[in-house]
């Protein structure tokens, strides 16, 4: 009988395990893949401040430092936002996860890889943390709902034709209902998109062949193709069920705006690990987790969910005008100064600006 059993050895599970073990709990982390951090389905884009909050003083495994973003409108017009200093980076997820595992083991947690979770899971531990990601196998058995997600595909291209300090976002018909992205990864570039309206792989192929902004990449060899899901609905209404807690993608702890969840999911997982240990050792109610994460990050999640509903229901002509106005008014530049992982303040700044008039109709469409 373990104090805490964690299913999933991604960042959320490893961070929760580290915190629980540091608090004195007997922790077992079970990961079904042979090695943590592989396969790597993540773009790896995180804020510098967020990365510091996870790794403290350890030198981060950075592939590229990011200073700006280039946003393409539905008609292909580019709007650039550059920060004066490095505010984000692309991390090597394999090395990042390996560092998190080192910390978990160093804190006293046991990590087992290449093994599925035990069937008699409720008899093996006092408290369960579901960190299985988007697989949703364990979630259904524990009675959790499945976080809203959409299919995604990415390709790594063997090319040097990209800006090492710039991320690109492509809006409009290239990825209906979401957006496409292009991120540098040291010696190659990763391009991907997500959509629930058409097959992502067909959309990606079409974009690479027809989008003029990718003309320089024609003929570049494909290093690998990655398939996955992007969680877009935000946290579930119930992230605690009996003696089980859901974290990371399994709990919906991602940014609804982009689907990224390494940093924000990690911060919530710290709370989960501490509550799990207190529950197993001194009988604190697991429901404490629900209250604590809402108190700390509930406003950010609500703001991002609202922004996501507006963005995903924008028509191309509305997006075109909104980007033009925000660029001319300098709003995009102001947003670059906010934390890209805790986006609540940035969303509120947008809604207080002249862009609010572009949000009304998309928001109404999201309701009906």
Rounded CA gap, 82 and 324, in Å?
Answer: 17
162 token code pair: 């990209």
Q: pLDDT digits over 122-175, tens only?
A: 778 899 999 999 888 888 888 999 999 999 999 999 999 899 999 999 999 999
277 token code pair: 């240990």
Q: Check pLDDT > 70 for residue 342.
A: no
Q: Which residues contact 291 (CB under 8 A, 6 or more apart)?
A: none
Between 356 and 36, name the one with better pLDDT: 36
**pLDDT score recorded for residue 49:** 87
Q: What letter would DSSP give residue 147? A: P
Task: Sort strands 78-82 and 189-194 into parallel, antiparallel or unpaired.
Answer: unpaired
76 band by pLDDT with thresholds 50, 70 and 90: very high
Q: Check pLDDT > 80 for residue 365.
A: no
**pLDDT score recorded for residue 196:** 87
Q: Check pLDDT > 70 for residue 211.
A: yes
Mean pLDDT of 100-122: 89
61 band by pLDDT with thresholds 50, 70 and 90: very high
State the average pLDDT for the chain. 89
Between 334 and 154, name the one with better pLDDT: 154
366 band by pLDDT with thresholds 50, 70 and 90: low
Q: What letter would DSSP give residue 41? A: -
Rounded CA gap, 168 and 183, in Å?
Answer: 7
Q: pLDDT digits over 273-322, tens only?
A: 999 999 999 999 999 999 999 999 999 899 888 888 888 888 999 899 88
Task: Please report the beta strands in the chain, taking only residues with DSSP state E, as ranges in sequence order.
Answer: 2-7, 27-31, 45-47, 62-66, 68-72, 78-82, 88-91, 110-113, 125-130, 149-158, 166-170, 180-184, 189-194, 221-231, 240-241, 244-246
Q: pLDDT digits over 217-269, tens only?
A: 888 999 999 999 999 989 999 999 999 999 999 999 999 888 888 999 999 99
Task: Sort strands 110-113 and 221-231 into parallel, antiparallel or unpaired.
Answer: unpaired
Q: What percent of the chain has pLDDT over 90?
A: 60
Task: Reduce the DSSP state of residue 202 to 3 states and report it.
Answer: helix
Please report where in the chains the tokens 């079409």 appear, as a residue.
206
**pLDDT score recorded for residue 252:** 96
Distances (CA, A) of 97 to 18, 116, 342: 13, 19, 21
Total Cβ atoms within 10 A of residue 168 = 23
In the chain, the domains with their CATH numbers are 2-61+90-148+233-299 (3.50.50.60), 150-231 (3.30.9.10), 303-367 (no CATH)
Rounded CA gap, 364 and 344, in Å?
Answer: 21
Q: Check pLDDT > 70 for residue 367.
A: no
Mean pLDDT of 69-98: 91
Task: Note whether 154 and 225 are within 8 A (CB).
Answer: yes
Q: Check pLDDT > 70 for residue 335.
A: no
């Amino acid at each position: 009988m373990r104090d805490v059993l964690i299913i999933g050895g991604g960042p959320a599970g490893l961070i929760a395990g580290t915190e629980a073990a540091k608090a004195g709990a007997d922790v077992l982390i079970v990961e079904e893949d042979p090695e943590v951090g592989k396969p790597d389905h993540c773009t790896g884009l995180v804020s510098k401040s967020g990365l510091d909050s996870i790794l403290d003083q350890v030198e981060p495994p950075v592939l590229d430092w990011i200073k700006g973003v280039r946003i393409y409108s539905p008609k292909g017009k580019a709007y650039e936002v550059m920060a004066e200093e490095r505010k984000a980076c692309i991390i090597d997820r394999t090395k990042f996860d390996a560092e998190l595992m080192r910390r978990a083991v160093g804190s006293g947690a046991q990590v087992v890889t290449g093994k599925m979770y035990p069937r008699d899971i409720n008899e093996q531990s006092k408290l369960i943390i579901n960190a299985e990601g988007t697989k949703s196998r364990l979630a259904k058995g524990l009675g959790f709902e499945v976080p809203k997600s959409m299919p995604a595909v990415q390709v790594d291209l063997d090319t040097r034709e990209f800006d090492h300090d710039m991320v690109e976002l492509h809006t409009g018909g290239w990825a209906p209902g979401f957006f496409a992205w292009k991120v540098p990864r040291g010696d190659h570039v990763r391009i991907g998109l997500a959509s629930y309206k058409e097959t992502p792989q067909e959309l990606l192929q079409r974009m690479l062949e027809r989008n003029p902004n990718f003309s320089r990449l024609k003929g570049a060899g494909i290093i690998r193709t990655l398939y996955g899901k992007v969680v877009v609905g935000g946290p579930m209404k119930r992230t605690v069920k009996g003696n089980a807690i859901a974290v990371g993608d399994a709990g919906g702890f991602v940014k609804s705006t982009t689907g990224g969840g390494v940093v924000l999911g990690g911060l919530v997982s710290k709370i989960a690990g501490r509550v799990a240990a207190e529950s197993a050792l001194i009988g604190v109610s697991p429901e404490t987790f629900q209250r604590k994460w809402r108190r700390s990050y509930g406003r950010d999640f609500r703001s991002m969910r609202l922004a996501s509903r507006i963005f995903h229901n924008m028509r191309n002509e509305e997006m075109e005008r909104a980007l033009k106005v925000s660029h001319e008014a300098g709003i995009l530049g102001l947003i670059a100064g906010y934390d890209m992982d805790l986006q609540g303040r940035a969303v509120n700044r947008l809604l207080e600006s002249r862009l609010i008039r572009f949000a009304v109709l998309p928001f109404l469409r999201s309701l009906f």
